[in-house]
Structure 1
Amino acid sequence: MELISGFSKLSKEEKIKWIAQQLGDSSDELLEQFSSFWHNDPHQQRVFDEFSENTLTNYYMPFGVVPNVILNGETLAVPMTIEESSVVAAASKAAKFWQSRGGFHSEIISTKKIGQVHFLWKGDYNKMYCIFDEAKEQMLKDTADITKNMRQRGGGILDIELLDMCHLDDNYYQIKATFDTCDSMGANFINSCLEQFAKTLQNWIASNEIFTDEERDITIIMCILSNYTPECLVKTWVECPIEDLGIVDGLDAQTFALKFFKAIEIAKNDVYRATTHNKGIFNGIDAVVLATGNDFRAIEACGHAYAARSGQYRSLSDCSIENGIFKFWLEMPIAVGTVGGLTSLHPLSKRSLEMLGNPSAPKLMQIISALGLAQNFGAIKSLTTTGIQKGHMKMHLLNILRNFEATEKEVKQAVEHFKNNTVSFNSVREFLATIRTHA
C-alpha cells in the first residue's frame, strides 16, 4: 500500500477507487461489491457512515434470536449478533433445558461506575487529605450543570475520594469518583465530570492559603473513566434438585452433576482451561451486547480483569452441589446502557431493545448475564457428555458444504448422510466426491 495524504477528505467512492488501485482491481468492480452492502435508504446509510471514520461499506453479521428464555419468571426472546456457528443453538438448548426447571434467576448487586483523575503533586498529602472535603464540595458545585439531568433521573456523582498512589510512582495521586449513570452507559457524562474535577482541583490548590507556592504546582496527567467496574455487578443462576436434571445425553443425573462440577473446578484452577471457558461465556454475552448496540470490548476487558482479581485468571462462573441441590451461577461486572449512543441510532439496536421490552440498564445486565450463563452451561454440558465436536461440526456442516460449492441437492444429501456420521472437512470432501462420481 502506498502512503496517502488527505484520505479522510475523499468521498466514499474516491476512497474505494484508491483501495482498488492499491489492490490492482477494477474500481468499478470493487465499487459494485462494496455498494451492494449499502443500505437502500441514503439517509440510513449516512447514519451508518457516521458511526465511524473512513467508512467504505457495511459489514453484515447474522442477527438471530434465542426464544423461551425464562428470566425471573418472565419469558423473553433474546436477540444475538454473532458469526460463530452453534452459539445460538447452544444457548437455545440451554434455555429449553432450564425452562422446566425454574428458568434463570438474576439479581443486581450494584451499579456503580468508576472515573479517575490522575495527577502529580509534590505537596503534603496529609495536609490535602484533612481539608479535601472542601475541594469535594467545590467539585460538586462546579459540576452541578453537568449532573443536573442525571440527578433528575436518580443518578449522578456518588462519591469523590483522594487516593495516595506514591507507593506506585513518585508524587502520584488520584481522584477516584463513583457514579450512577442510570440507563445510560455514561462515558461522556463521567469524562465531562472528571475534566471539571481536574480544573476545580487546580483552582482550589492555587487559591488555598494552606498550601505553599511549591505545593500549588500540580500536573494533571489525564481524566478518564475506568472500564473496570467491579461494583457494577450482576449475579445470575440456575438451580434444581440433582434428580431433576434427569438423564443428560446418556448420563444419569448424579454422574452428570459431578462431572459438570469438576469441569468448573478445573476452569477455576487452570488458566489454560479458564481462558477457553470464559471465551465461551463471552460468546453469549458479546452477542447480546452487539445486538443491543453496547460496547463489547469494554465489557470483555472488565470481565477478564475481574476474572484475574485474585491474582490468577479463573473461571467467571461457579458451581455447587450441596444438600442434593445443583446450582450453577455467573457473577461478574457488566456495564451497559439502554439510552444514548448506538442504542438510539442503530435501527436493529433499537429493535433489539424493543424485543426485550425496552429494559432498563440493570435489567439488560441481567439478560446479558443469563445468555452468558446459558452459553456456558451448553458448552460444559457438551464437553462432559457427547463432546464438543459432535454438535459443533454438525452446525458447521453447511459452512463446509459452501466451501465446496455444493448444490442444493448435494446439501440435502450431505445433511441426511451426516446425521449418523462424523463431520470433518475431509469426510465432507470425500462424501461429495463419491456422490459426484456417481451422479
Structure 2
Amino acid sequence: MPTRNLTSRISGFHRMTTEERLEAVAAFSDLDESAVGTLRRPGNIDPHLADHMIENVVATLSIPIGVATNMKVDGRDVLVPMATEESSVVAAVCNSARQCYDSGGFITSVSGNLMIAQVQLVGVPDPEQARMMILERREEIAAICDSCDPMLLRLGGGFRDLEVRVLASRGGPMVITHLIVDTRDAMGANTVNTMAETLAPSIEEWTGGKVFLRILSNLADRRLARARAVWPVAAIGGEAVRDGMIAAYHFAEADPYRAATHNKGIMNGVSAVVLATGNDTRAVEAGAHAYAARNGRYSSLTSFEVTADGSLAGMLEMPLPVGLVGGATKVHPTAQACLKILGVSTAAELARIIAAVGLAQNFGALKALATVGIQQGHMALHAHNVAIAVGATGAEVEQLANILVARRRVRQDVAAEELAKLRGG
C-alpha cells in the first residue's frame, strides 16, 4: 500500500485512470484489500444479497461512484464518495471546495440525533383533556419506549421527550403524540416505529380514543446538520461574480419556482453521498423539502451574505437523518467501503460531511449561473454520455465529445452525424 496521503487536494485526480484514482483513494483512506476489491467490481453486490434486500429481484443497477477531492471539513481533509448518474455534480463539489480550502474549508455542526415518532389518536370527544392525560403519563411512556430497545439504551440513546398537540383536520380534531427519541448512530426509523406501535394500546386505554397511524416523521427538525464556509472574493473571480451569486440566492429565497431548482442542486450533492453510504435518499429528500417550507412558503435551504472584508459567506441548515448501522448501510459492501473512505465513526460526523457537500454543490451551481451559465460546464461533461449513446467507442468518445462542445450542439442527432463523419461514412 502506498504511503498514506493526508491531503484531499490530489493533483491531477480527474486526469487519472479509474484504477489510479482507486489506488489514490485507497492510500488516503487506508482501505484494506476487501474494500478495494469491492470497489473494483462494477456490480459489487452479490445476487443473493440483492434478493434479500428487496422483493421480486431480477437484476441490479450500477450507479457510478465518484470521489470529491479538496474537501476540508472541521479542519480534517476528507475524500467524499458520491453515487450519481449526473454529469458535473462531482466536479462542482471539487471546484467549490478548492476555492474555500485555503480559507479554512467547511465548518459544521449538528443539533443532535433526535427522531420523532407520531401516534395519531381520533374519536375522543374531549381532545384537550386527552392531550393532558397523555402528558401526565410522561414517565410511564418513557419506560414503555425504552423497553423496546435495551441495546439503544445501553448505547446512551432512548426516549428523550414528549409532545402532544391537538390538530384540527377535515375529519375533526386529532390528538397527535410525538415521541422524541435519541437514535444515536442509527437513522432510527425501525426503532421509533416500534416504540409508537408498542405505545398505541396504552394511549387508547388512557383516553378511550382510537389510534390509527403509528410512524416516524421524515421532517426530522430535531436532527439538523449545519455547514458554513467563506470564499475570498479573489478566489471566486471578483466582486462582480460575488454579487451575481448573491442576486441568484436572493432570487431563490424569494421565489418558490426558483427555490425548487436551487434546492434540487443542493440535493444533487447531498443525495449522492446519502446513496453512496447506503442511507435513505427518499427520507432525506422529503425532510429537506418539508424543512424548506417550514415558514409557510417554500424557500432556499442555503443563505449567502457578504462579510465585512468583502468575502462571500455561505450557510446550509437542513434535516439529515442518516446512520451508520442498520439497513443497506450495514449490509451493502459498497456502502461499507464508502464509509471507510470517509473515515467517519458516528452518524453525526457523516451528517456534517454531507451538509458540507450540499453547500459546496450549491456554491458551484450559483457561481456557474452567475457567470458562464449552467450549460457550458455541464454540457461539456454530458457530451461524453451523448457520444457513448450513439455508439462511440474508445478514442472516438473524446473526439466526438470535443466536436459537440465546439459546435455547442450536444444532441444525439448531431452526435450521430458527426460520428459517421469520423468513421468516414
Short-chain TM bin: 0.7 to 0.9
Report if aligned partners of 1:241, 1:326 keep a CA contact under 8 Å in 2. Answer: yes
Paired position in structure 2 for 1:385: 371
Distance 1:38-1:379 versus aligned 2 partners, 3 A rule: closer
* 1:238 lines up with 2:201 in the alignment: no
Distance 1:40-1:227 versus aligned 2 partners, 3 A rule: closer
Find the partner of 1:401 among 387, 391, 395. Answer: 387
Paired position in structure 1 for 2:20: none
| Cα deviation, residue 226, structure 1 | 0.6
Paired position in structure 2 for 1:29: none
Per-residue deviation, residues 121-145 of structure 1 (Å, max 9, x unmatched): 3343454445445422222233342
Structure 2 CA distance for aligned equivalents of residues 103 and 423 of structure 1 = 37
* 1:176 lines up with 2:162 in the alignment: no
Find the partner of 2:344 among 358, 370, 387. Answer: 358
RMSD (CA atoms): 2.3
Find the partner of 2:190 among 188, 196, 210. Answer: 188
| Cα deviation, residue 423, structure 1 | 4.5
Structure 2 CA distance for aligned equivalents of residues 40 and 280 of structure 1 = 28
Identity %: 36
Distance 1:147-1:387 versus aligned 2 partners, 3 A rule: same
Find the partner of 2:105 among 98, 103, 106. Answer: 103
Report if aligned partners of 1:38, 1:45 keep a CA contact under 8 Å in 2. Answer: no
Structure 1 CA distance for aligned equivalents of residues 408 and 43 of structure 2 = 40
Structure 1 CA distance for aligned equivalents of residues 422 and 149 of structure 2 = 69
| Cα deviation, residue 172, structure 1 | 1.7
* 1:312 lines up with 2:302 in the alignment: no
Q: What does 1:212-231 correspond to in 2, within 5 Å?
A: 216=208, 218-231=209-222
| Cα deviation, residue 177, structure 1 | 1.3
2:273 is matched by which residue type in structure 1?
Answer: V
Q: What does 1:45-194 correspond to in 2, within 5 Å?
A: 45-166=47-168, 169-194=171-196
| Cα deviation, residue 339, structure 1 | 0.9
| Cα deviation, residue 155, structure 1 | 1.2
Structure 1 CA distance for aligned equivalents of residues 405 and 203 of structure 2 = 69
Structure exhibiting the larger radius of gyration computed from Cα positions: 1
Report if aligned partners of 1:135, 1:200 keep a CA contact under 8 Å in 2. Answer: no
| Cα deviation, residue 412, structure 1 | 4.2
2:235 is matched by which residue type in structure 1?
Answer: L
Distance 1:393-1:138 versus aligned 2 partners, 3 A rule: same
1:122 is matched by which residue type in structure 2?
Answer: V
Flag structure 1 segments of 5+ consecutive residues without an equivalent. 1-36, 206-215
List 4+ stretches of structure 1 deviating above 6 A.
37-41
Per-residue deviation, residues 147-178 of structure 1 (Å, max 9, x unmatched): 32212211111112232224664242111111
| Cα deviation, residue 404, structure 1 | 2.3
Structure 2 CA distance for aligned equivalents of residues 255 and 67 of structure 1 = 27
Structure 1 CA distance for aligned equivalents of residues 145 and 263 of structure 2 = 39
Paired position in structure 2 for 1:28: none
Point out the more displaced range, 133-142 or 298-307: 133-142
SS at match of 1:115: strand
Report if aligned partners of 1:39, 1:45 keep a CA contact under 8 Å in 2. Answer: no
TM-score between the two structures when normalised by the length of structure 2: 0.84
Report if aligned partners of 1:150, 1:156 keep a CA contact under 8 Å in 2. Answer: yes
Structure 2 CA distance for aligned equivalents of residues 336 and 81 of structure 1 = 16
Structure 2 CA distance for aligned equivalents of residues 388 and 51 of structure 1 = 37
Point out the more displaced range, 297-306 or 161-170: 161-170
Distance 1:282-1:389 versus aligned 2 partners, 3 A rule: same
Structure 2 CA distance for aligned equivalents of residues 261 and 431 of structure 1 = 40
1:410 is matched by which residue type in structure 2?
Answer: E
SS at match of 2:194: helix
| Cα deviation, residue 419, structure 1 | 6.7
Distance 1:154-1:424 versus aligned 2 partners, 3 A rule: same
1:245 is matched by which residue type in structure 2?
Answer: A
| Cα deviation, residue 186, structure 1 | 0.9
